[in-house]
Amino acid sequence: MRLDRLLANMGAGSRKDVRKLIAQGAVRVNGAVVRDCGFDVNEAADKVEAAGKEIVYREFVYLMMNKPAGVLSCGDGVPGVKEAKDLVGDDFGFYDLSPAGRLDADSEGFLILTNDGNFIHSIISPSRNVSKEYYIRTEGVLDEADCEAFANGVVLGDGYKCLGAHLEILKADQAGGVSEAVVTVHEGKFHQVKRMALARGKKVTYLKRISVGGVALDPSLEPGEYRELTREELAKLGAF
């Protein structure tokens, strides 16, 4: 890989900035000053330093974010729209990050951000059958008939029949007319969980994704915070 491209890709600055660093003699490869922007670097073996700081090349990153309400998973390039990747700081912000599956703007919880397109496809592909678990609160009391309907596959308003899902009722307040539950689905249709509940006459008033593929959202992450997925978590998600 070209030296200037490696430095720019790893956040050492814009292509113009890193070329200036190289010209100033501030970049070393294996201890030797290199002033050639097109110098061929073995990113897996060579030691690269810029302004005294070692630059470690990493092709892909995988982040677990606790997405807050009011932020889009992806704004599809619409100017002025706040996206989840806008919350990522300088440590990973220079990567071209995209979400592996989306959450509604008013929903919270586990969102995976990565620059690995193949991994994104593996998470959202229906053939992979990756589970997604959501904590919900509803207007309308959930009951065993709803559990059975979810298990058999709820038919949405447009006629689409969902795959079987698991509904675990945590609280059913008859007096207040509200419920709390955990829903586990294996597909990702638009507004699916909300539409499933609505098809049963209940309205979801709060939704938070709490796990993906058996990997739970880190409870220490506040809304808007993120961390890298561990190797063990990535293995569970099928990355290795």
d(C-alpha 149, C-alpha 56), whole Å? 51
Strand partners, 50: 27, 53
pLDDT the model gives residue 109: 98
Structure tokens at 171: 């609280």
Q: What is residue 127's three-state secondary structure?
A: helix
Q: Mind listing the pLDDT tens digit for each residue in 31-60?
A: 999 999 999 999 889 999 999 999 988 889
DSSP state of 100: S
Q: Where are the domains of the chain?
A: 3-55, 62-126+217-236, 131-212
109, 103 Cβ separation under 8 angstroms? yes
Q: Does this chain's domain 3-55 share its CATH topology with 131-212?
A: no
Domain 3-55 sits in CATH 3.10.290.10: yes
Give the highest mean pLDDT range of 14-18, 53-57, 102-106, 212-216: 212-216
Lowest mean pLDDT among 63-67, 123-127, 214-218: 123-127
34, 58 Cβ separation under 8 angstroms? no
d(C-alpha 28, C-alpha 135), whole Å? 51
pLDDT at residue 77 is higher than 70: no
pLDDT the model gives residue 14: 86
Short-list 185, 182, 147, 145, CA closest to 163:
185
188 falls in which pLDDT band (50, 70, 90)?
confident
Catalytic-labelled residue, pool 17, 46, 104, 218: 104
Short-list 125, 122, 153, CA closest to 234:
122
Q: What's the mean pLDDT in 143-155?
A: 97
pLDDT at residue 76 is higher than 80: no
CATH number belonging to the domain at 131-212, selected among 2.40.50.140, 3.40.1000.10, 3.30.750.24, 3.30.70.1560: 3.30.70.1560
Catalytic, 4? Answer: no
Domain 62-126+217-236 sits in CATH 3.30.70.580: yes
DSSP state of 160: P
106, 71 Cβ separation under 8 angstroms? no
d(C-alpha 103, C-alpha 109), whole Å? 8
